[in-house]
Chain A
Amino acid sequence: MAILTAKDLAVGYEGQPVLEGINFEINAGDYFCIVGENGSGKSTTMKTLLGLQSPISGDIIFGDGLAKNEIGYLPQQSIVQKDFPASVYEIVLSGCQNNLGKRFFYNKEDKAMALANIERMGITHLKDRCYRELSGGQQQRVLLARALCATKRLLLLDEPVAGLDPQVTNEMYSLIKDLNNEGLTIIMISHDITAVLDYATHVFHVTANGAEYMDINSYVNSDLGKMYIRKEEQ
């Protein structure tokens, strides 16, 4: 059973659709990549899946017992965060906010989970460091650890390697792949076609004329896929 299904979904702002006719099914364990031109509606689609904005029409169906607040999200960094005085631990712990419920403070389990995810991302030595002093790659690991506190099943990533150097980019991808191997479902917006070909199990390709959803093998052999891969590899 699919954990997330989009049915005739149209997304956009103020009643103006940016992208229409979105149909796909994401199953547990999928590595689902959203690719396409800038401004074609990739981020808007992801924001709609996250419930940050409402769909223009159509449905998003959560299945297999996945609750709407069990989603981990790695957003693109905002300017606000660049000079934010917060320790790594404080930020990762804030990923547990959906566990708070009616409580005001984090409990022992929340704190243990934050520490475990800090360890999982290999940043235990940075635990008490200030977020704004970290390198781009380290900051992404912090935000990934936070996302992991919010979810055990579904992770949405919005261009997780934007602005990272090649070596750090590869480390980031293998981290995400490890998480996928551990059973997390991945939905990722990516500009990086080589990563898509290496890791994705399914591709959602957005163009100005609409969107196509395929598994990776059909995508590689499709006209759309061939064209895009050739263009990107040049």
Chain B
Amino acid sequence: MLDTLTLYLQFPFVRYALIVGVLISLCSSLLGVTLVLKRYSYIGDGLSHVAFGVLTIATILKMASTMVLVLPVTIFFAILLLRKGQNSKINGDAAIAVLSVGALAFGYLMMNLFPSSANISGDVCTTLFGSTSILTLTPADVWVCGIMAIVVIIIFILFYNRIFAVTFDENFANAVGTKVNFYNLLIATVIATIIVLAMNLVGSLLISALVIFPALSAMSILKSFKSVTIFSAISSMICAFAGILISILAGTPVGSTIVAADLALFVVCYIIGRIRG
């Protein structure tokens, strides 16, 4: 088994996949805690479907770099969803559902009306489950991902105290003069960026898992915000690393294997949490 592993690790694309996978898991888990606590667990799902829908348009338009269109539009919808409209007629939960289903249907419709290749179901499967894209990363992708990850981590560390304040009690933060809207905007922008990046890794369907599972695992056994954040970041990286290795050895799809690893860890943490009371 070790021999197979060393053999595979000699291929650059395997190393790229490992680096990108671990970085993206780290980023998504950092904001996962905030999103889960703010009752926005499903935002990852909604936004990734938006990204999927926009991606089909970008493909149809034969845009050289799909990112140019996908990223801004996804950020726009992230801001729309996270901006807490106190008097809005559709509540956050329903808004995410509408957007998620709508964008998915729209994307699939576009793919069928303007097929870019003969194998539509193959294309859809790749975009949704990210089955192969992580193994076709170029060095440029790895750099982009690395820089984004560093930016996200720096933003998160610098604004950690304010993110905590805004997550725990928006009204209090507002009352004492913290610019709550700005920080919600920041969180929305960062999460949208991460989701667009993470589509490469696990595909749009499984992004929610990367956002939710590490946070939930940590929350079931730990008791302070700092420890929850650190644990979810580390556990998410370990699961991504293990998931990719297992998928290489066992020949399973990368995205779902990572999510399976996250799920397994969550079950363990949940049981430990229950036993300890």
User: Is there contact, CB below 8 Å, between A84 and B37?
Assistant: yes
User: Is there contact, CB below 8 Å, between A97 and B175?
Assistant: no
Binds B, one of A66-74, A160-168, A212-220: A66-74
User: Is there contact, CB below 8 Å, between A87 and B225?
Assistant: yes
A68, A81, A84, A90: the one within 8 Å of B177 (CB): A68
What separation, in Å, do the CA atoms of A78 and B161 have in the docked complex?
20
B160, B175, B226: the one within 8 Å of A50 (CB): B175
Q: Which residues of A, 20-68, contact B by the 8 Å Cβ criterion?
A: 47, 50-52, 68
Q: Which residues of B, 209-223, contact A by the 8 Å Cβ criterion?
A: 218-219, 222-223
Chain B interface: which size bin? 20 to 34
* B224 located at the interface, meaning its Cβ lies under 8 Å from any Cβ of chain A in the complex: yes
Q: Which residues of B, 149-198, contact A by the 8 Å Cβ criterion?
A: 158-162, 164-165, 167-169, 171-178
Q: Which residues of A, 71-92, contact B by the 8 Å Cβ criterion?
A: 71-73, 75, 78-81, 83-87, 90-91
User: Is there contact, CB below 8 Å, between A90 and B224?
Assistant: yes
* B4 located at the interface, meaning its Cβ lies under 8 Å from any Cβ of chain A in the complex: no
Q: How many residues of A contact B (CB 8 A)?
A: 39
* B206 located at the interface, meaning its Cβ lies under 8 Å from any Cβ of chain A in the complex: no
User: Is there contact, CB below 8 Å, between B224 and A75?
Assistant: no
B38, B87, B161, B224: the one within 8 Å of A97 (CB): B161
Using known A-B contacts A97-B161, A104-B159, determine if residue A81 contacts B168 with beta carbons closer than 8 Å. Answer: yes
Min Cβ gap A161→B in Å is 18
Contacts of A128 in B (CB 8 A): 224
A52, A69, A150: the one within 8 Å of B171 (CB): A52
* A232 located at the interface, meaning its Cβ lies under 8 Å from any Cβ of chain B in the complex: no
* Residue of B159, B171, B178 contacting most chain A CB atoms (<10 Å): B171
Contacts of B173 in A (CB 8 A): 97
Contacts of B207 in A (CB 8 A): none
* B39 located at the interface, meaning its Cβ lies under 8 Å from any Cβ of chain A in the complex: yes
Contacts of A174 in B (CB 8 A): none
User: Is there contact, CB below 8 Å, between A97 and B165?
Assistant: yes
Q: Which residue on B lies nearest to A128, using beta carbons?
A: B224
User: Is there contact, CB below 8 Å, between B178 and A97?
Assistant: yes
What separation, in Å, do the CA atoms of A150 and B224 have in the docked complex?
21
User: Is there contact, CB below 8 Å, between B176 and A104?
Assistant: no
* A14 located at the interface, meaning its Cβ lies under 8 Å from any Cβ of chain B in the complex: yes
User: Is there contact, CB below 8 Å, between A86 and B219?
Assistant: no
Min Cβ gap A51→B in Å is 7
Q: Which residue on B lies nearest to A99, using beta carbons?
A: B176
Q: How many pairs, one residue from A and one from B, have CB atoms within 8 Å of each other in the complex?
A: 95
Contacts of A98 in B (CB 8 A): 176-178
* B228 located at the interface, meaning its Cβ lies under 8 Å from any Cβ of chain A in the complex: yes
User: Is there contact, CB below 8 Å, between A51 and B223?
Assistant: no
* A94 located at the interface, meaning its Cβ lies under 8 Å from any Cβ of chain B in the complex: yes
Contacts of B165 in A (CB 8 A): 94, 97
What separation, in Å, do the CA atoms of A36 and B71 have in the docked complex?
50
Min Cβ gap A12→B in Å is 12
* A146 located at the interface, meaning its Cβ lies under 8 Å from any Cβ of chain B in the complex: yes
User: Is there contact, CB below 8 Å, between A51 and B174?
Assistant: yes
Contacts of A51 in B (CB 8 A): 174-175
A87, A94, A146: the one within 8 Å of B161 (CB): A94
What separation, in Å, do the CA atoms of A128 and B225 have in the docked complex?
11
* A129 located at the interface, meaning its Cβ lies under 8 Å from any Cβ of chain B in the complex: yes
Contacts of B222 in A (CB 8 A): 85
Contacts of B160 in A (CB 8 A): 104
Using known A-B contacts A13-B87, A87-B224, A105-B161, determine if residue A150 contacts B37 with beta carbons closer than 8 Å. Answer: no
A47, A72, A78, A94: the one within 8 Å of B164 (CB): A94
Using known A-B contacts A90-B164, A91-B168, determine if residue A85 contacts B225 with beta carbons closer than 8 Å. Answer: yes
What separation, in Å, do the CA atoms of A86 and B224 have in the docked complex?
4
User: Is there contact, CB below 8 Å, between A84 and B171?
Assistant: no
User: Is there contact, CB below 8 Å, between A52 and B175?
Assistant: yes
Q: Which residue on B lies nearest to A97, using beta carbons?
A: B165
Q: Which residues of B, 107-163, contact A by the 8 Å Cβ criterion?
A: 158-162
User: Is there contact, CB below 8 Å, between A100 and B162?
Assistant: yes
Min Cβ gap B92→A in Å is 12
User: Is there contact, CB below 8 Å, between A75 and B177?
Assistant: no
State the 6 A-B residue pairs at the shortest beta-carbon distance, nearest first. Answer: A69-B177, A130-B223, A87-B224, A98-B176, A50-B175, A73-B175
A selection of 15 A-B contacts at a CB cut-off of 8 Å is: A51-B175, A69-B177, A73-B172, A73-B175, A78-B171, A80-B169, A84-B168, A86-B164, A87-B224, A90-B226, A91-B168, A97-B176, A104-B159, A104-B160, A133-B223
User: B residues within 8 Å of A by Cβ?
Assistant: 37-39, 87, 158-162, 164-165, 167-169, 171-178, 218-219, 222-226, 228
